[in-house]
Structure 1
Amino acid sequence: MAVEAAGAVWMTLVHAGQVARLDPKSGEVRRFDLGAAESRPMVIATGPDDSVWFGRSDNRIGRITADGEVASYEVSGSAYGVCAGADGAMWFTLMTADRSTLDGAIDVQSLPTEGAAPVGIAAGEDGVWFAEIGAGRIGRIGHTARH
């Protein structure tokens, strides 16, 4: 789940292929259909552009803007983690560490650890940290390491 600056709570509805937004003040729940039941949206995070971004299991990352526009971008695997980086981009893991600008341009980052299998991701001041479950390690990519 993710909480936006205005206080609304966002969540993924994995088996429904939807994302929902709860307004805690009114109790209203708005559902956003992703147009693909097999999308299985997973982790979700707020972005610096007032959108929410989420991983999907159908080799796409999704975005819902503050105006309710739903979009998705093709990636090379299922996204298992997502976070907003201090560099103003959205970062996510797909068994590689990838970065997306807010317009959906994907920048794939190579990892030095063979068999890393990164999952989960969190932003720090100067980079992102992620678990390398395949290697039993913690990984980090600094913002200056981008291609």
Structure 2
Amino acid sequence: MADRIAYAQPQAGGQGFARTMKTFGGAVALVVADMVTGNTVELLQVPRGFVLTGVYLALTDIDSNGTPTVAVTLGDLAVPARLVASSTIGQAGGSTTTLAATGLYYQYLADTNIALTFGTGSATAAAGTATCYLTGFMA
């Protein structure tokens, strides 16, 4: 089989090495007591070496008031709004994929808990669900 060529290393003009995309996250139940101004709810943990490239955050309608007030941020203990700045998606239920500039290509140097922080609590809190997925790669 002289026509087969096996390459042991990437060839000139190739892409070099590939990074494998990782996704961390899932759904977390929120109770009425969670939705107080300044409260945090841990949603997931990312491992040391994780480099963030994308976010997906969805909330059900967790503020059933006719004039809802809830606003949340997503981040870590050091920077509570590192990933999602003040968002009102919980006022009627919705989602966002807008990653804050401070989060793009941020590398976690230790296992880190990611939390939802209530910058403004719900006017009329309603139990619901937070769904969060973070995508990226391992450095």
TM-score by length of 1: 0.21
More strand by share: 1
Work out which structure has the larger RCO, using CA pairs closer than 8 Å and 6 or more positions apart in sequence.
Answer: 2
Greater Cα radius of gyration, structure 1 or 2: 2
